[in-house]
Structure 1
Amino acid sequence: MKGKSVETIHGLLLLAVIAVFIWSIIKPASYSSWVLEVTPAIIGLIIALLTYKRFCLTTLSYLIIAILAILMFVGGHYTYSRVPLFNWIKEAFDFKRNHYDRFGHFLKGMFGIVIREILLRKTLLTKGILFWIVTSISLAISAMYEIIEWISFIIGKGGKTAKNFLGNQGDVWDAQWDMLLTLAGTILALLFLSKLHDKLLHKELGTSAVLKKLR
C-alpha cells in the first residue's frame, strides 16, 4: 500500500515540475507559443492533483507524467525547434533540423503506461488484449494532437506563433514522423516497463481485482 516514502517521492516529483514550470514562464521565446505548448501539460497536472487522493497512480506513472510535463515546459520556453542542446546536436552531427520535437514525441509514447494503469484498474480488460488497446489509444492521442496543431495553424493563418506550435521545420512528413515515433515509444515502453509497472501495482496498491488480471 502507498506509504509515507512513496508520498515523499510524489511530492519531490511535483516540486521538480513546479520548479521547471516557474523557470519556463520567465522570459520565454514567445508567450503566445508558450501558452499553446504548455497548456496540455498544465491540464494533465491539474487532473493528476485533483484525483490524487481518490485515484492515486503508481510512482512510475507519476514519474512519466512529470517527465512529459518538464519536456513540454522546456519546449514551451524555447519553442521546440530552438532548444539549445538539440541545436548543438544538430550542428555537431550536421542534422537538417532540431530533433527535440521528434525526441519529445518518442518520449510521449511512455504515456502508454499511464493509460495501461487506468485500463487495468477501471475496466475489465486483461493483460492479453491490453497491449493492443493501449497502443491504439496512444496512437489515437498522437493523431488527435497533430490535428489540433493543424487546426491551430489554420486559425492562426500561418503566423509566427502558429508556425512555432506546428514545428514542422519544413518537413512535409513531420506529422507522420511524430505519430510513428509516439507509436515506437509506446511499444518500447510497454515491452520494457510493464513488468516494473506490475510490481509497483502490487507493491503500492495491492488491490485484489488488479492482481487477478496480472496473473
Structure 2
Amino acid sequence: MQESVTKLKGAAAQKPDGWLWAAIVVFVTVWISTFVGTNDINNWLLENTLVFLALLFLIVTYRKYKFSTLSYVLISIFLCLHVYGSKYTYAENPFGFWLKDMLNLERNHYDRLIHFGFGLLLAYPIREMYIKWLGYPVKSAWFYPIQTTLAVSAMYEIIEWAVADVFFKEQGMAYLGTQGDIWDAQKDTFLAFWGAFLASTFISILQKYTSSAKPGL
C-alpha cells in the first residue's frame, strides 16, 4: 500500500501543472499563427531554426533535468516574443513601428527589445540550470547567467553574420536586421548583458532577503 501511494505521488510530481500547460498552449498558438501569417516563409524558417533546437532540448531533458514551472513560463514568454518577430522580420515588426512612433525613435527597435528580453527572461532558467543541474554553489550563481548570456549573444551574432554573408545571402539582410547601424551587433550584445545583469541582481537580492526561499534557488 505504501509503495502504491509513493508511486502515485511520484506520478503526480511528474505531471505538468496548470501554469506549464498554459505556457505550452499559448506558445504553440502564437507559433502557429506566426507561421500562417508570415510574409516571408524563408526568413521564418531561418528565424525559427534555433526555436526548433531549443524545443528539442527542452523535450529531451524534461524527465532527467526538469526546470521549475517559473523557468518554463519565462522561456515560453521569450519564445513567443521571438517567434512574433519572425512573422514579419524584426526590422518590419508592427509593434516595433508602433514603439518607434510612440517614443519618436529613429529605427524599429523590436530586435533590441528581444535581445534585452533574452537576458532578462532567461537569467533565472540559466541560474537554475547551474545550481540544480550542474551543482554550482548558490553564492556564485549571480555571475553565471551574465557570463552565459554574453557568450551566447556573441555566438548568435556570429551565426547572424554567417547566415547573412555566407550561407543565405538572399534572406541574410532580412535576418540580420541591422537597419544601417554598424554597431548593431555590439548594442544587441550589450542589451542582452544588461537584461541578464538586472535579472540576476534582482533574483540574488530576493533570494538573500526572503527567508522563505527554498534552498538552492
Q: 5+ residue gaps in structure 1?
A: 203-210
Match of 1:151 among 152, 162, 168: 162
Q: 1:140 aligns with which of 151, 158, 161?
A: 151
Q: Which residue of 1 aligns with 2:69?
A: 59
Rate the CA distance shift 1:169–1:200 in 2: closer, same or farther, 3 A.
Answer: farther
Answering whether residue 58 of structure 2 is matched by residue 48 of structure 1, we say: yes
Counterpart in 2 of 1:208? none
Which residue among 18, 26, 29 is the counterpart of 1:8?
Answer: 18
Task: Work out whether residues 58 and 200 of structure 1, in 8 Å CA contact, stay in contact via their aligned partners in 2.
Answer: no
Deviation at 1:166, TM superposition (A): 0.5
Paired position in structure 1 for 2:177: 167
The number of aligned residues is 204
TM-score by length of 1: 0.85
Equivalent in the alignment of 2:129: 118
Q: What residue identity is the alignment partner of 2:100? A: K
1 or 2 for the larger relative contact order (CA 8 Å, sep ≥6)?
Answer: 1
User: Is the 2:130–2:144 Cα contact (8 Å) retained in structure 1?
Assistant: no
Ranges in structure 2 where 5+ consecutive residues have no aligned partner:
1-9
Larger radius of gyration: 2
SS state at 1:86 partner: helix
When normalised by structure 2's length, the TM-score is 0.85
Distance 1:25 1:193, change over 3 A: same
Q: RMSD of the TM alignment (CA)?
A: 2.6
- Give the Å deviation of 1:201: 8.0
Runs of 4+ in 1 over 3 A off after TM superposition: 1-6, 193-196, 198-202
Structure 2 distance, partners of 1:67, 1:200, is 26
